[in-house]
Structure 1
Amino acid sequence: MATQPLALPTQAAMPTGFKKWIIVVTAISAAIIELIDTSIVNVGLTDIAGNLGVTVEDVSWVVTAYAIANVIVIPMTGFLQRYFGRKNYYIGSIILFTVASYGCGFADNLWTLVAFRFLQGIGGGALLSTSQGLMFDAFPPSQRPLASALFGMGIVLGPTLGPTLGGFIIDNYHWSWMFYINVPIGIAAVMLSLAFIDKKADELNIDRKSIQIDQMGILLLAVGIGSLQYVLERGEADDWFDSNVIMWLAVAAAIAIPAFIFWELKGTKEPVVDLRTFKNRNLAIGSILMVVIGYGLFTSVLLYPLFAQRIVGLTATQTGKLLIPGGIVTLPMFAIVGRLLAKGQSPRTLVAVGYVAFASFCFMMATYNMNASNGDFITALIIRGIGLAFVNVPLINQSVATLEPRQLPTGIAIVNMMRQVGGAFGVAITNTYVTQRTAVHRGDLVSNLQPGEMLTMERLNAITQGLIAKGVNSFDAVTNAYKTMDLIISRQALMISYLDTFRLAGLFFVVSFPLLFLLKSKKMDAAAAKAVADAAH
């Protein structure tokens, strides 16, 4: 992995004025649409399934394909930028993402949609991974914390706006507009990138013949990480190891991932991902913490809409609107975090504040029930937003602060991948835990309903009389009363399982909190900050 020596740019070489802010808007917009597409389809799966004539379980491939492509591409970002040049790679990825988005909206069957979602995920992985590098290049080293804060807004706003925007589209338009909406943004981003983003010196004369392609490493990475992501995404839906596909892909991941690690460390002099960077304590610990952050972020994005809609009875649009106050409060928090970092505040302290806030959100949600008000959700989501603002940027910076400049591209790509993997673990754990706890709680609730028990009979009689009053005959009223009681029990069991899952997420933060104190505190110097920019996030 030959890396060119990194030199500090002069202030004159940096974009200023209108050009500078056009680059900022372009980079943030590209990152936001990539992250929106990780969650926007979640609220529309039922509509897509009905329109395409498939089951909800089958249409979940739309989510899985995007996630698999994302997690494969992200760790290879450093190599792909060196090979194609950052500007070429960035614009090519936007074009791929935009064309694939149009293809998703135009798809008239499931597997065409899944294929375009996979291509969209390949392009999207680059958008997230290169946008921050463009942001950093637009600011002098003294203002790089501000650049991190601005980019951090996109990291949080994307998953937050996804369900909101998706709910609005599903309730008012055809599901295809969840994808078509990317097209004008993508076209604008391509035009602006061509006009305003300059190539760096090392992009002008790329000698691709001198860059060795680690074909074996790429193959093992794709098979190992792709198989693991599939197992985590589809395991619960396919009954885990009762499915031959899950079993064989788990075996493939168990073989390919260790083989990839061995090959990258021992088998090649030019690894596609330099795993030796894991010898750095900050990167190793930061990666573990980033898994927890990804787990918390994706779990909350998955579980909150389900709780609000299936337990409280809110519509998709109402569920999305409740996310807006938290997003509004989060924006100035990123600016505050950026200023604190610029003034020399310890990133470890800021991450600790974010950890406490996110754990508080989880434990607050674990106390809610079907009578939870909009204000309850808004309060919890605001605390969640504050936690994300305080934890994301400082943790990324601290994870790579003690790396050598040449190691930064790999280090930052690894941190990003860990957040995605943490999210995949979060979805898998959440789905499995909810299913298991629902069965347990349903059994406990049913065991308390004894035939002839006074309170049970009173409830059944009340339901029966209510149905008779609506014109239902006595026989059907009794039958429907038992069915209604069964639905009440199922809903109560599901609600308690959601509370258990929020509590479990909070415990992950509590258990991993001591690791924060193992991070070495070091402020990134100007050379390291420049290298972060060249690493393209």
Structure 2
Amino acid sequence: MNPIKRQILLITVIAAAIMELIDTSIVNVALNYMSGNLGATLEDISWVITSYAIANVIIIPMTSFLVNNLGRRNYYIGSIILFTFCSFMCGNATNIWELVSFRFLQGLGGGALLSVSAMVVYELFPKEKQATASALFGIGVFIGPTIGPTLGGYITENYSWPWIFYINIPIGIAAAVSCYFLLYEPAIKQKIKQIDWLGIILLIIGIGSLQVVLERGQTDDWFAAGYIVFLTVVAALSLTGFIIWELYTENPVVNLRILRFRSLSIAAVLTFITGMGMYTSIYLTPVVAQRLLNFTPTQSGLLLLPGSIVAVLALIITGKLLQKGVSAALIVFFGFACFIYFNWSMSRINLETPAIDITLNLIFRAIGMALLTVPLGTLAVSSLELKDMPQGTALNNMMRQLGGSFGISIINTYVARRIASHRMDLITHITPDNPAFINRINGYAAAFMQKGFGLLDAKQKAMLLVEKVVIQQSSFSSYLDGYFLIGSFFAMVLPLLLFVAKRDKKKALVIPSSDH
């Protein structure tokens, strides 16, 4: 391949990966607008995020099979077309569940845009320049999350939320055409194995059922609803059957047997928690900023921009530290420490906290993200044989996506419960013998009377205003509890790093995972 075509192909596959990553974060600042426009609750609208993550969980372990069976070129171009078409359909959705359905299909198409793009980037560089390839692709995958929220905020505020999906269409068409002429099949193909249909079906049923239970349980009073009981049983049986089948079948879709390696099993747990932290923080922060702090979508997106820029620099530094032999476990420790500090700081903000303070907190989140991206992947495969590395990387990536989708569901349930608890706590102070309450009511009533309202109307409006304040403060305190809960998860699993075996001195090539 001549240099010009090589450069065009390199730009194309990195652009495709960035497009996929933009869509993981661009929707977050538009959730409030989608909720109002489609008449959906915040719990329902969160499926726009989780359905995409679940689709990634399903498709990522199948990537090797699909590449070998369909051909890398056909699979990659087909995935771009599916992603682009579903982007158009997402923008045209007329109700929440239509949008969620096409987001799921979009996620199936997006699964190839990261893993296959990474393979192509590495093939385009000679062996002695693999470090350059790693850095280039690593920076590329950070561009998406960096510009996603800011771009989404600007589009939502100045145009309308469907355009956050429509912008994928010209990029997708250009990428598909470019790959049609330039993308080639790899020189060496692995032997095509029989697909593990039973494993895939059990995984889809198990994860899907569990996700519905987590998402809808709080809304429908958990086990008081018959379908929640049914889906809980289905999830337990399917996931148990999946684990047993994958451990004993000859060609598993997810090779769980490699979890016997301590470094991989511990990295999988840490990656799961990391996914929870990354997805929930990018979900909670725009919701808090827009619904409770009255930020515009553009302002919400700009909160995340400085931290994302810092993360690119931190990623470069992390790569150099790993090249110099610094322990991946040590870097992961500091990454977790940054996330713990971020969640602890966010749990202590108030309704008067300025934007600069939230931005500074988000910088710690971004640094933590950069410190975990490559080192967790390195830690995961550090004790694996070369033949097991693709499965180890796929399993680790799957755990991150699972952590993200489960984390958002858990947070929605937890926040809903905490709202009720905080509301009860606040209402206990609304009594006739509470001087602070009486002074607040009298102050509100006096303000309304100055505007021309009579005494009775002024007192009624004052009580309504107190109720509004109670709802706002209950919601705000509950979201802060959500940050604290996620930070607690990070703190609880941190001691696992003490059990990680010493890093293998043999350096292995590791394709960076797509954390964001």
| Whole-angstrom distance in 2 between the partners of 1:292 and 1:151 | 24
Alpha-carbon shift at residue 525 of structure 1 (Å) = 4.8
1:220 and 1:257 in contact (8 A); partners too:
yes
Task: Return closer, same or farther for 1:146/1:495 CA change in 2, 3 Å cut-off.
Answer: farther
Q: Does 1:440 align with 2:421?
A: yes
Q: Does 1:459 align with 2:446?
A: no
Q: Give per-residue Cα distances to partners, 1:243-286, cap 9 Å, x unaligned.
A: 433332222211111111222222x3222222211111111000
**Within 5 A, what are the aligned runs for 1:36-55?**
36-52=22-38
Q: Does 1:169 align with 2:155?
A: yes
Q: Does 1:497 align with 2:478?
A: yes
| Corresponding residue of 1:5 | none
| Corresponding residue of 2:103 | 117
Task: Return closer, same or farther for 1:395/1:57 CA change in 2, 3 Å cut-off.
Answer: closer
Q: Give per-residue Cα distances to partners, 1:332-361, cap 9 Å, x unaligned.
A: 111111222222222122111211111111
**Within 5 A, what are the aligned runs for 1:33-182?**
33-52=19-38, 59-141=45-127, 143-182=129-168
Q: Give per-residue Cα distances to partners, 1:94-140, cap 9 Å, x unaligned.
A: 11111111122233455543432222111012223323222332334
| Corresponding residue of 2:18 | 32
| Corresponding residue of 1:230 | 212
| Corresponding residue of 2:203 | 221
Q: Does 1:412 align with 2:398?
A: no
| Whole-angstrom distance in 2 between the partners of 1:458 and 1:423 | 45
| Whole-angstrom distance in 1 between the partners of 2:219 and 2:121 | 40
Task: Return closer, same or farther for 1:344/1:24 CA change in 2, 3 Å cut-off.
Answer: farther
Larger CA deviation: 276-285 vs 33-42: 33-42
| Whole-angstrom distance in 2 between the partners of 1:115 and 1:366 | 34
| Corresponding residue of 2:176 | 190
| Whole-angstrom distance in 1 between the partners of 2:475 and 2:34 | 24
**Within 5 A, what are the aligned runs for 1:373-412?**
373-412=354-393
Alpha-carbon shift at residue 52 of structure 1 (Å) = 4.7
Q: Which amino acid letter does the alignment assign opposite residue 337 of structure 1? A: T
* Structure 2 residues not aligned, in runs of 5+: none
Pairing partner for 1:471 from 446, 452, 455: 452
| Whole-angstrom distance in 1 between the partners of 2:247 and 2:467 | 57
Alpha-carbon shift at residue 157 of structure 1 (Å) = 4.5
**3-state DSSP of counterpart to 2:254:** coil
Task: Return closer, same or farther for 1:336/1:58 CA change in 2, 3 Å cut-off.
Answer: closer
Q: Does 1:252 align with 2:238?
A: no
| Whole-angstrom distance in 2 between the partners of 1:468 and 1:535 | 61
1:438 and 1:497 in contact (8 A); partners too:
yes
2:348 and 2:480 in contact (8 A); partners too:
yes
**3-state DSSP of counterpart to 1:322:** helix
| Whole-angstrom distance in 1 between the partners of 2:389 and 2:127 | 16
Task: Return closer, same or farther for 1:516/1:154 CA change in 2, 3 Å cut-off.
Answer: farther
| Whole-angstrom distance in 2 between the partners of 1:297 and 1:331 | 16
| Whole-angstrom distance in 2 between the partners of 1:383 and 1:197 | 39
Q: How big is the alpha-carbon RMSD for the aligned residues of Structure 1 and Structure 2?
A: 2.7
1:159 and 1:301 in contact (8 A); partners too:
no
| Corresponding residue of 2:251 | 270
| Whole-angstrom distance in 2 between the partners of 1:365 and 1:395 | 25
Q: Which amino acid letter does the alignment assign opposite residue 97 of structure 1? A: F
Task: Return closer, same or farther for 1:160/1:246 CA change in 2, 3 Å cut-off.
Answer: farther
Q: Give per-residue Cα distances to partners, 1:385-409, cap 9 Å, x unaligned.
A: 1111011111111111221121112
| Corresponding residue of 2:329 | 348
Task: Return closer, same or farther for 1:367/1:288 CA change in 2, 3 Å cut-off.
Answer: same
Alpha-carbon shift at residue 237 of structure 1 (Å) = 4.1
**3-state DSSP of counterpart to 1:291:** helix
1:78 and 1:413 in contact (8 A); partners too:
no
Q: Give per-residue Cα distances to partners, 1:34-75, cap 9 Å, x unaligned.
A: 233233334334544554566665555444433332221122
Task: Return closer, same or farther for 1:406/1:234 CA change in 2, 3 Å cut-off.
Answer: farther
Task: Return closer, same or farther for 1:161/1:230 CA change in 2, 3 Å cut-off.
Answer: farther
| Whole-angstrom distance in 2 between the partners of 1:498 and 1:74 | 31
| Whole-angstrom distance in 1 between the partners of 2:311 and 2:36 | 36
Pairing partner for 1:371 from 339, 345, 352: 352
Larger CA deviation: 342-351 vs 193-202: 193-202
| Whole-angstrom distance in 2 between the partners of 1:334 and 1:281 | 26
2:48 and 2:99 in contact (8 A); partners too:
yes
| Whole-angstrom distance in 2 between the partners of 1:233 and 1:145 | 41
Alpha-carbon shift at residue 29 of structure 1 (Å) = 2.5
Larger CA deviation: 335-344 vs 481-490: 335-344
**3-state DSSP of counterpart to 2:351:** coil
Larger CA deviation: 341-350 vs 176-185: 341-350
**3-state DSSP of counterpart to 1:345:** coil
| Corresponding residue of 2:194 | 212
| Corresponding residue of 1:296 | 277
| Whole-angstrom distance in 2 between the partners of 1:240 and 1:162 | 35
| Corresponding residue of 2:495 | 514
After TM superposition, the score normalised by the length of structure 1 is 0.88
Task: Return closer, same or farther for 1:504/1:58 CA change in 2, 3 Å cut-off.
Answer: closer
| Whole-angstrom distance in 1 between the partners of 2:95 and 2:485 | 38
**3-state DSSP of counterpart to 2:15:** helix
| Whole-angstrom distance in 2 between the partners of 1:534 and 1:374 | 32
Alpha-carbon shift at residue 24 of structure 1 (Å) = 4.3
Q: Which amino acid letter does the alignment assign opposite residue 485 of structure 2? A: L
| Whole-angstrom distance in 2 between the partners of 1:66 and 1:234 | 17
Task: Return closer, same or farther for 1:321/1:16 CA change in 2, 3 Å cut-off.
Answer: farther
**3-state DSSP of counterpart to 2:292:** helix
Q: Does 1:337 align with 2:323?
A: no
Deviation >6 Å, runs of 4+: 534-537
Q: Which amino acid letter does the alignment assign opposite residue 271 of structure 1? A: P
| Whole-angstrom distance in 2 between the partners of 1:265 and 1:314 | 50
Q: Does 1:327 align with 2:313?
A: no
2:56 and 2:107 in contact (8 A); partners too:
yes
After TM superposition, the score normalised by the length of structure 2 is 0.92
1:133 and 1:535 in contact (8 A); partners too:
no
Task: Return closer, same or farther for 1:90/1:517 CA change in 2, 3 Å cut-off.
Answer: farther
| Whole-angstrom distance in 2 between the partners of 1:66 and 1:536 | 14
1:409 and 1:534 in contact (8 A); partners too:
no
Q: Does 1:425 align with 2:406?
A: yes
Q: Give per-residue Cα distances to partners, 1:205-263, cap 9 Å, x unaligned.
A: x876xx32222222222212232233334444444334433332222211111111222
| Corresponding residue of 2:222 | 240
| Corresponding residue of 1:7 | none
| Corresponding residue of 2:295 | 314
